[in-house]
Amino acid sequence: MDLRLTEEQLLWKNNVRRLMEEHVAPRAAQIDAEEKFPEDVKELFAKNGFFRTVVPVEYGGMDGKLLTLCLTIEEVNRICSASSIVLGNQSLGSAAIVIWGNEEQRSKYLPGIASGELLACFALTEPNAGSDVGAMQTRAVADGDDYVINGNKIFITHANVADVVTVFAKVNVDGKDRVTAFLVDKGTPGMSIGNKEKKMGFRGSSTCEVIFEDVRVHKSTMVGKIGDGFRIALDALDKGRIMVGGMATGLAQGALDAAVAYVRERSGLARQQTVQFALADMETAVQASRALNYTAAWKYDNKEKDHIRFSAMTKLYATAIVMDVTASAVQLLGHDGCSKNYPVERYMRDAKIFAIFEGTNEIQRLVIARDLLGN
C-alpha cells in the first residue's frame, strides 16, 4: 500500500491552505456569529475548483480520488468548520448520483455540482428515524409515471440553499415497504423548508427541516430501483464517513496550531512539563488520525475489501480525538480558552457534532465489530 501523496496533491493541498488562510481565516469568527450560509465561501470554492474534488473526472471533476477530497477538506476545516460543510455537503448530497445515478442523472447534475453552479443535499433523517432508517415514515406513492411524496425530514444540511435534494422514502410493493431514493429539484411544488435549527456548533452552516406535501416527481428521478435506497444511503455514508474523518482531523489540527501559538508566546507556559506533555499527546493523536484517514481514503479509492471497516474506524477515531484535542486546547489557554477572542472555544463547540452526524459513533462500533466477525 503506497500512501505517498503525488506532487499534484501536495501542490493542491498547499494552495487550499493558502486560500483558506488569506480569504476565510479573517472571516471565520464572523461566519460563526452571523449563523448564515457563507455565500462568499461558496463562490471562493467554485472559483478555485474545490467542488471539482467531489465529482468524477468525466463530469468535470479533478482526479476522482476521495483522498484528494480528504486533503482538501482537512485544510478547510483547519480554519473554519462551517466552510468545510459547504464542501462536505456537496459531496454527500451528490454521492447517490455519483455512485448510483444513471447517465442521464449524472449528465444533468454533476457538471453543475463540479462548477458550484448547483448545490446538492442529502435528506435521510426524520423525527423518528435517525440511526434506525427502517423507522422512516416518508412515503412515495406511485401515480401513473409519477411518484407522490409525503413526509418530513429534519437536520438536513443546507436544505434551504440546495438546488437538488436526494430524498429517501418508502415505496410499498406487494405489501412490503422498500426504501427508495429520488432526486427532487428546488422549487418543486409541495416541497418547503420548515424550522431552521439553532445549533451549538457549525453555526454558519444551515440545518433545516424539509416538508413534503404531495410532492410529485417523475419516475425518472428515482436513483437505482425501488428498494435500492437503503444500499444507496449506506454507500453514500461509507464514503462520507471517510470525508468526516478528514474534517475532524483538520479541526483537531487547527486547535493544536492555536494552542502551540499561544504557548509559544508565553515562555512561562512553554517551560511547564505538564503543558509540554499535553501538546505532545495532542500532536500524536492528530498524526494518528491523519494516517488512519489517508489509509481509509486510499482503500476506498483502490476498492479494497475492508474499506467499509476503515471508513467506520476513521470516523470513530477522528471524531473522538477531535473532542479531546479541542478540549485540551481550551484548557491550555485557561480563561482565554473560553473567550471568543480566541478560536479554540469555537473549535470545541464545533467538535461535538462529529460523533453524531453521518452515523453516530455507536453505529461505527457496530460496523467495525460486525466486519471483524464476518457478519
Locus of grid cell 475489501: 305
Predicted pLDDT at 60: 96
Distance separating alpha carbons of residues 60 and 56, to the nearest angstrom? 7
Q: How many CA atoms lie within 13 A of 318 on its CB side?
A: 33
What is the secondary structure of 132-158 as a DSSP string?
-GGG---EEEEETTEEEEEEEEEEEET
| Amino acid at the residue 361 | N
Locus of grid cell 500512501: 3
All cell numbers assigned to 96 = 447517490
Predicted pLDDT at 356: 86
Distance separating alpha carbons of residues 191 and 247, to the nearest angstrom? 30
Distance separating alpha carbons of residues 109 and 218, to the nearest angstrom? 16
List residues bridging with 207 in a β-sheet. 157
- Hey, how many other C-beta atoms are within 10 angstroms of the C-beta on 350? 31
pLDDT tens over the chain, length 375 residues: 667 889 999 999 999 999 999 999 999 999 999 999 999 999 999 999 999 999 999 999 999 999 999 999 999 999 999 999 999 999 999 999 999 999 999 999 999 999 999 999 999 999 988 777 888 999 999 999 999 999 999 999 999 999 999 999 999 998 899 999 999 999 999 999 999 999 999 999 999 999 999 999 999 999 999 999 999 999 999 999 999 999 999 999 999 999 999 999 987 888 999 999 999 999 999 999 999 999 999 999 999 999 999 999 999 999 999 999 999 999 999 999 999 999 999 999 999 999 888 888 899 999 999 999 987
Q: Provide the CATH topology of domain 230-372.
A: Butyryl-CoA Dehydrogenase, subunit A; domain 3 (1.20.140)
Question: With respect to CATH, is domain 7-119 assigned 1.10.540.10?
Answer: yes
Give the closest residue to 365 by CA, choosing from 324, 299, 319. 319
Q: Which CATH superfamily is domain 121-226 in?
A: Butyryl-CoA Dehydrogenase, subunit A, domain 2 (2.40.110.10)
Which strand (E) or helix (H) includes residue 83?
helix 81-100
Distance separating alpha carbons of residues 311 and 317, to the nearest angstrom? 10
All cell numbers assigned to 112 = 453543475
Burial (CB < 10 A; 0-12, 13-18, 19+), residue 13, is middle
Active site (catalytic) residues: 358
| Amino acid at the residue 201 | G
Give the closest residue to 291 by CA, choosing from 44, 38, 70, 25. 70
Helix (H, G, I), strand (E, B) or coil at 343: coil
All cell numbers assigned to 231 = 444500499
- Hey, how many other C-beta atoms are within 10 angstroms of the C-beta on 241? 28
All cell numbers assigned to 318 = 477522528
- In the chain, which segments carry CATH 2.40.110.10? 121-226
All cell numbers assigned to 363 = 453505529
pTM of the model: 0.93
Predicted pLDDT at 14: 96
All cell numbers assigned to 198 = 439553532
- In the chain, which segments carry CATH 1.20.140.10? 230-372
Alpha helices, H only, 153-228: none
- In the chain, which segments carry CATH 1.10.540.10? 7-119
Fill in the DSSP letter of residue 21. Answer: I
Give the closest residue to 140 by CA, choosing from 100, 104, 167. 167
Distance separating alpha carbons of residues 156 and 31, to the nearest angstrom? 19
